[in-house]
Structure 1
Amino acid sequence: MRQDTGQIFKIEDYQPSDYLIPETKLTFELQPEATIVTAQLQFERRKGVEAGTPLVLDGDELSLVRLELDGRPVDASGYQASPQQLILTAPPASARFTLTVVTQLDPSRNSTLMGLYRSNGVYCTQCEPEGFRRITYFYDRPDVLSVYTVRIEADRATAPTLLSNGNPVEQGDLGSGRHYAVWHDPFPKPSYLFAVVAGDFDVLEDSFITASGRKVELGIYVEHGKKARAAYAMDALKRSMVWDEEVFGLEYDLDVFNIVAVSDFNMGAMENKGLNVFNDKYILADEATATDADFANIEAIVAHEYFHNWTGNRITCRDWFQLCLKEGLTVFRDHEFSADQRSRPVKRIAEVRTLRAMQFPEDQGPLAHPVRPRRYREIANFYTATVYEKGSEVVRMIRTVLGAEAFARGLKLYIERHDGEAATIEDFIRAFEDASEQDLSQFALWYHQAGTPNLAVTATHNAADATFRVEIEQSVPPTPSESRKRLMHIPLAFGLVGEDGQDIVAAQIEGAQVENGVIHVRKRKHSVVFHGIPKRPALSLNRGFSAPMTLSMEQRPEDLVFLARNDSDLFARWQALNTLLTDATIRAYRAVSGQANVAHDPNLIATMGEMARDDSLEPAFRALALTLPSESDIAREIGANINPDAVFMAREGLAKAIACANADQFATLYGIHDAGEFRPDAASAGKRALRNVLLDYLSLSSDQPTYAAAQFASATNMTDKAAALTILAHRFPGHVEASAALARFEDTYTNDPLVMDKWFQIQASTPGANAVEVVRSLLDHPAFSIGNPNRVRALMGTFATLNQTGFHRDDGEGYRLFATTVLEVEKRNPQVAARLATALRSWRSLEPKRQEAARQVLVMISSREDLSSDLRDIVERILS
């Protein structure tokens, strides 16, 4: 466990390293408990650095075996070595020298899953962000780029496959049952992109011909017996390669591209140059074991890691403060890919739902930070929704502000200028400014300023002079360490919708810069006047979610209903309906809290029925429209003094009102929207999504498990089976049909960990006070492993983030179980523990009793003297 030094790293303290490492040669003599790593490092003193300046290298729990300088042993008086650092106190006066560092590792005992570890018989590395220092002493920072040659030696019987970055160079036999392989990566890269994998795998092989005619050998390495389940990932990879060539003109640059799927992995996947390592959850899929959501995630994540080859690998980030430079940009690219492969409006709605569920709470709480943070204590804790999801939104806004053509020129210029370099956000912005001849200095505040902006909007119509006036006022709420905010440049896409449902084009617009349906909000207040508008239009704002912000606008319910039925922008249609549903749930919440009767607007109820049967809309869109805002969404809108039980009751009441009023037509639609033979394409997935939303409503209206039990029994794919099981477990807990279905599912999939994760998730998210006891019992289930990140996230992660009534049980027992589990996980894997702990980031928004119970467990965790730097950083920031 890394020692917590309490050090704060600040962006203004950045200094280049004193030395460069142009070439790195590594030899791994793999043994389960005593691996020897020999690193031959060619150093070059930077210009301007004084000869003899000490060389200070990073380490983390390392054991030094031998140290040589230009082939000769270094005297003990010439260096200082600790598990955390190596200092060559008097390097040679020459500008170039070679340092050979030999370290010994114990991969089998490395439960952190960082550096080199061995799990399930597989040797694997994870080096981002600072894992390479657990392998050898090095400049473990992203701005030191080196060309790597790697020799791997291992037992042939247990590790017949030996992989590393780049292209294969040589392989052979060593005798005594051991063999070797040599890999060379010709492209300089930082240490965080280094990878080695050795083990016994099955491999799915294919090839790809690039736009210039080069043949690239493709391989996906998986556990034996699971090769067929990698077929969709291979298809997604090849589609990604074609798309990147066609859309961005970016061609793959090595002779091979390999993916390895492993079961013990902290992240979703890792973009190591030419050797992507994946959590097997995001590679393995077939109709019997994976849901449509799994297929979509595999497609997106395979694309994301492949796209990093240019936006992350060929151009990396100068320091970890620039993390969004590779992640936000590449998330934008994978979003665009998925939008082109699937349905653009449906994909956009899904992106916004994720942003609001994950990033908005981050921006509005104690963990708020800019897209480019200015300081950090533990960099692993900044792989956040702000860096990834909001970072993607910022890139999308650059395209909105500049236009598609100027954006494309800017991105091309950025790649041409910085290929082979470690770049900064300033480099990125400058490329777009130069390509477009526009000043983006105010816009760049999106990178440098935390918080979610709000636009307060009022609209008035004057029939006498045929004008429509829109008043806009922007504000950014204070965030930790940043109470005073500067004015942002917010691109606000809009439309004026007439009585016929068509957009109205104003004869003249004054008061702000308005281009291509976008109001550019730059000042605190704007008064935008539209001339030539004889009748009052419905105002459609933030179309396509043009900016990650909140809107404060009094809109008449009839206007929202009109937009939900007529807006030409499908995102805006969904947003209008979602706003109506949110408002209705909050009204019900207040009524429930005050023990008053709840009466729902019949017009809204009818609109839901109309949306369900509108065949002009694709099924996937209708499924999203029929899905109520989550309990977390409602709680976020309420803001303070939240009672999760009342939120649950209010949401359930609205859902039941919709279900009962539309029961007959929902039953008819359920019967006719069978997707037929399983295909993982977007159209088929959309039909299944709509049918399963309807199934949930039918289960509410009938108060009987008949529909769900029948679907569970007849389902021929995991999407329909898991949906039915979820409804049985959540709607009818303890019912004989629910208990029998859970038992059958467990019996069928007990030997398939990824499918059992779904079983854990379904039970961990079952609402109600009894969830605490259910989760506690599942922690002892034979299929659960506290050392496997997937199992932990499936059970405890689901409980803490999705089960609002169980986790927030009013006696605090959910928090206490959570805290105990987090501390147990931390003993093995501090990174996973720290990410779990973020589930308590919004504790101050709860009603007083729950708030105090949450505070007590946070204080209890923070009082532990042996707490890791990862977990202490999160808990102390949440408490601050």
Structure 2
Amino acid sequence: MTASTTASTPATIRREDYTPPAFLVDTVELHFALHPTATRVRARLAMRRNGESHDLELDGEELMLLSASIDGVALPSYRVASLPSGGLRIEGVPDSFMLETLVEISPEANSELSGLYLSGGNYFTQCEAEGFRRITFFPDRPDVMSRYSVTIEAEKTACPVLLSNGNPAGGGELPDGRHWAKWEDPHPKPSYLFALVAGDLVAVRDSFTTRSGREVALAIYVRQGDEDACGHAMDSLKASMAWDETEYGLEYDLDVFNIAAVSDFNMGAMENKGLNVFNTKYILARPDTATDADYEGIETVVAHEYFHNWTGNRVTCRDWFQLSLKEGLTVFRDQHFSEFMGSAAVKRLANVRRLRAAQFPEDAGPMAHPVRPDSYVEINNFYTATVYQKGSEVVRMMRELIGPASFRKGMDLYIARHDNQAVTIEAFVGAMQDASGIDLSRFARWYAQAGTPEVTVSDSFDEATGRYTLSLTQSTPPTPGQPTKQPVPIPVAMGLLGPDGAALPLRLSGENAAEAPEERVLLLEEAKQDFVFEGLGTQRPVPSLLRGYSAPVKLHGLGLETLGFLAAKDSDPFVRWESAQQYATAEMLRLVAAYRAGQEPTLPDGLAGIFAAVLERAEQDPAFAAEALALPSEDFVAGQMRIADPEAIHLVRQALRRQLGTRFASRFAALHDSLADAGPYRTDGDSIGRRALRNAALTYLGRADAGDGLARARVQFAAGANMTDVLAALRVLVDSEDPAREDALAAFHASWRADPLVLDKWFTLQAVSTRPDTLAAVQALAKHPDFDLRNPNRVRSLVGAFAAGNPAQFHATSGEGYRFLAEMVIALDPVNAQVAARIVSPLGDWKRQSPDRAAIMRAELERILALPGLSKGTFEKVSKSLAA
């Protein structure tokens, strides 16, 4: 790929400039002599020219070159130049040759956590997206696929465990207390999938027998003392392996599958072939340390990384613009798996909520980009909700349109055609189209256009003929660089309901009445389409649209009366939940406007009625009830306003929570009493749902009745039954003025200071507190002895949680929240640029704030941009935010 740049800005990489690699690497032999400050890496690369004559260019960063040769001839015999990035250009190389280099690197000094680094005295790697160039000189791009042989040597007492990709291929003792191990990966892979782990770790072992009868050795490597917290991760791994065989016919292809857990990690986890590296957050769980959400997150992330073995590793992406080829598809697969493992309806609601919380604002902000971006400055900035979650929704829409059977055929065809290849998104869409016979060419627009499509519904009904006309229009707002949008194909799963909520037959004009289903998928492909249904009698039907959230769009045009009806009577869980959310959002926006006009917010009768209906049926499906009882978030409501008013939104939401708690206090108290766990902690869907509803009831009681609610919270906290209940109770106390608040926080800290993951929760609870003194508390916590700027989890737990999860406090009119975030970004950028670039995003929302807030936010962005030596990732985020 080529790059465009000026003297003052980092290079912009453009998709249209892609060119195939000038050289391929057939085999890679690596030898690591590990040392904290002076690790030596010897690389032997069997290289060959790929097409036209070019000089050899190798990527490299932070490498000290000690020696290099081509076919045994030292590089001084060739013309060698250093590239500005730190790489090498070698002129006059033959068409095929063996390149050997020896470099020295310092894992201890690597605070970026990209490449090879030290964490707690142990060695770990992170090579996606461009970390391998920090290990050795290499054409570090995903379309260069090679077979790797890796030898690791280290001091045995410090590093008894030596791991890499593939299968073990030997080991032994060396002089001076050192030892070695060799690993060989039979499958070609890009450099971003390389992994090495070495150190003083212990293994939790198990095995899995594949459907063909092969036994695979499984191991999870953790720090000593964490062995008892790996059971759920191991169970999730085995369940994932079995499900992938059953659902997709995909069997694991190595003799071993290893996972290593590390607390210093920029990401959630990494799918390196045969050696996954995980953030400890997504491995370690015991009932006393992990919440239900943690258990569910572990199940999902373990599955996601395992599923990458085929959708990402065996078939990988040609270039980083195709990132959603592996990530969007694999998110869809992990969501499908989670729906299989628990309540499909509730899992779908949770995933939609996450999509709207993270991806919708991204689509509406300065960093809006298509699922397949057209350009980037720093690829790590595009590991986004758009690429992952929206990419998954595009895959889901294709499956909705062509049907599960054709989708499975398409997956089989995709793997068969492209195994061991690096391909583009067109390869996946083409396989689905060929397997189904359905034209999917217009789905290219979903990959090419940024922005969230908006669908508006209107309808008419002729009582005399029983003919109902459903009119749907679509439009997508302009986004940076894309002022004009084309219509996209939108599958609209729908039904029609009678006055009693019963499903009506869906016979489109010209169809046979005997074949009319009660649910069908309409395809909205144009800017406006009419769908005419016949034979519906004399009573006007009510449309139930986007069932199961069949497309990632915003739906407009349904009035409050219709929304209330659907919330009470629709059979589809998503439509029931979504209608209640839309109703609540509309009422909250009305109350915000009234508050700004001087009126105090009062609970609307219609919203109270919806809550009453949910509570009446709550114990029939506790998990769904817990979701339905959650008011729309402050950020979501702000997203519906042209200029947000964080203070008014917060006040209205808090008032409604208090008034709902008061109105239904007796019912909430009864639920809190009746749903208490009677036995040991379990993580099945029913148990999780019961705890979620019980804690939702406690939250409302804490808002409504300081006496009863806080008393219950104190008792629940002291009982310490499980971390889910402890945190729910502590959250109620932390948001209150209760005298027990400080004692509870101190007790929690004293109990869990030695457990980093639990201590992260302690920081987060205080960062998202609704108390007016939260900002001062967060500023103090940033100076706390347990706060560590070098640990990404700790930064996210405090700074990220405050800026992204506490809008009322972050947007305080003083501007202190903005200044705090800017100071953290400035301090973090030289230490870990990836994390700095990720946490700066909330400042980019300045255009949707009032003029006084916007001016302060812009000033802070400009202060960051003026930082000497600003990383290219933070530069890209900040400069695009200012230019929006």
The alignment's TM-score, normalised by the length of structure 1, stands at: 0.97
> Contact between 2:367 and 2:880, CA under 8 Å: does it hold in 1?
yes
Which residues of 2 match residues 299-338 of structure 1 at below 5 A?
Answer: 299-338=299-338
Aligned to 1:37: 41
Determine the C-alpha separation between the residues in 2 that align with 1:599 and 1:356: 27
Determine the C-alpha separation between the residues in 2 that align with 1:293 and 1:693: 14
> Contact between 1:588 and 1:650, CA under 8 Å: does it hold in 2?
yes
Aligned to 1:567: 570
Q: CA RMSD in A?
A: 1.5
> Contact between 2:657 and 2:704, CA under 8 Å: does it hold in 1?
no
> Contact between 2:219 and 2:258, CA under 8 Å: does it hold in 1?
yes
Aligned to 1:65: 66
Aligned to 2:444: 444
Aligned to 1:400: 400
Of the three residues 7, 11, 18, the one matched with 2:15 is: 11
1:726 correspondence with 2:740: no
> Contact between 1:289 and 1:717, CA under 8 Å: does it hold in 2?
yes
Which residues of 2 match residues 651-666 of structure 1 at below 5 A?
Answer: 651-666=653-668
Q: Look up the SS of the partner of 2:257 in the other structure.
A: strand
The offset of 1:524, in angstroms, is 1.1
> Contact between 1:244 and 1:307, CA under 8 Å: does it hold in 2?
yes
Aligned to 2:140: 140
Deviates more, 1:27-36 or 1:78-87: 78-87
1:537 correspondence with 2:503: no
The offset of 1:240, in angstroms, is 0.3
The offset of 1:76, in angstroms, is 5.8
Of the three residues 648, 667, 674, the one matched with 2:669 is: 667
1:200 correspondence with 2:205: no
> Contact between 2:495 and 2:506, CA under 8 Å: does it hold in 1?
no
1:708 correspondence with 2:713: yes
Aligned to 2:159: 159
Q: Look up the SS of the partner of 2:682 in the other structure.
A: coil
> Contact between 1:510 and 1:530, CA under 8 Å: does it hold in 2?
no
1:643 correspondence with 2:645: yes
Determine the C-alpha separation between the residues in 1 that align with 2:168 and 2:102: 24
> Contact between 2:125 and 2:195, CA under 8 Å: does it hold in 1?
yes
Letter in 1 for 2:358: M
Which residues of 2 match residues 806-821 of structure 1 at below 5 A?
Answer: 806-821=809-824
> Contact between 2:78 and 2:92, CA under 8 Å: does it hold in 1?
no
Letter in 2 for 1:302: V
Aligned to 2:844: 841
Q: Look up the SS of the partner of 2:840 in the other structure.
A: helix
Letter in 1 for 2:782: L
The offset of 1:805, in angstroms, is 1.5
Determine the C-alpha separation between the residues in 2 that align with 1:602 and 1:269: 46
Aligned to 1:85: 87
The offset of 1:464, in angstroms, is 2.0
1:525 correspondence with 2:528: yes
> Contact between 1:115 and 1:133, CA under 8 Å: does it hold in 2?
yes
Of the three residues 28, 35, 49, the one matched with 1:24 is: 28
Determine the C-alpha separation between the residues in 2 that align with 1:278 and 1:633: 31
1:585 correspondence with 2:588: yes
The offset of 1:615, in angstroms, is 5.0
> Contact between 1:117 and 1:123, CA under 8 Å: does it hold in 2?
yes
Letter in 1 for 2:712: Y
Determine the C-alpha separation between the residues in 1 that align with 2:174 and 2:831: 35
The offset of 1:510, in angstroms, is 6.7
The alignment's TM-score, normalised by the length of structure 2, stands at: 0.96
The structure-2 alpha-carbon separation of the partners of 1:4 and 1:257, relative to structure 1 and needing over 3 Å to count, comes to farther
Letter in 2 for 1:624: E
Percent identity over the alignment is 47
Aligned to 2:57: 56
The offset of 1:827, in angstroms, is 1.4
Letter in 1 for 2:297: N
Of the three residues 521, 537, 558, the one matched with 1:554 is: 558
Aligned to 2:261: 261
The offset of 1:686, in angstroms, is 0.7
> 1:172-225: per-residue Cα shift (whole Å, max 9, x none)?
011201100000000000000000010001110000000100000000000101
1:380 correspondence with 2:383: no
Aligned to 2:238: 238
Which residues of 2 match residues 387-786 of structure 1 at below 5 A?
Answer: 387-509=387-509, 517-533=520-536, 534-555=538-559, 557-615=560-618, 617-638=620-641, 640-676=642-678, 677-704=680-707, 705-730=710-735, 732-733=736-737, 735-786=738-789
Aligned to 1:211: 211
> 1:588-639: per-residue Cα shift (whole Å, max 9, x none)?
111111111333322321321231230574111000000111111111112x
Letter in 2 for 1:726: R
The offset of 1:839, in angstroms, is 2.0
Letter in 1 for 2:784: H
Q: How many residues align?
A: 868
> Contact between 1:767 and 1:804, CA under 8 Å: does it hold in 2?
no
Determine the C-alpha separation between the residues in 2 that align with 1:75 and 1:712: 69
> Contact between 2:69 and 2:101, CA under 8 Å: does it hold in 1?
yes
Q: Look up the SS of the partner of 2:651 in the other structure.
A: helix
Letter in 2 for 1:20: L
> Contact between 1:540 and 1:572, CA under 8 Å: does it hold in 2?
yes
> Contact between 2:62 and 2:105, CA under 8 Å: does it hold in 1?
no
> 1:275-332: per-residue Cα shift (whole Å, max 9, x none)?
0000001100000000000000000000000000000000000000000000000000
> 1:81-103: per-residue Cα shift (whole Å, max 9, x none)?
356111111102xx321000111
Determine the C-alpha separation between the residues in 2 that align with 1:18 and 1:756: 49
Determine the C-alpha separation between the residues in 2 that align with 1:238 and 1:549: 35
Structure 2: unaligned runs, 5 residues or longer: none
Structure 1: unaligned runs, 5 residues or longer: none
> Contact between 1:613 and 1:669, CA under 8 Å: does it hold in 2?
no
The offset of 1:370, in angstroms, is 0.5
Q: Look up the SS of the partner of 2:660 in the other structure.
A: helix
> 1:635-663: per-residue Cα shift (whole Å, max 9, x none)?
1112x222211111100111122111111
Determine the C-alpha separation between the residues in 2 that align with 1:558 and 1:442: 35
Q: Look up the SS of the partner of 1:7 in the other structure.
A: strand
Deviates more, 1:804-813 or 1:126-135: 804-813
Aligned to 2:804: 801
The offset of 1:241, in angstroms, is 0.3
Letter in 2 for 1:506: L
The structure-2 alpha-carbon separation of the partners of 1:363 and 1:491, relative to structure 1 and needing over 3 Å to count, comes to same
> Contact between 1:207 and 1:217, CA under 8 Å: does it hold in 2?
yes
Determine the C-alpha separation between the residues in 2 that align with 1:562 and 1:660: 25
Q: Look up the SS of the partner of 2:548 in the other structure.
A: helix
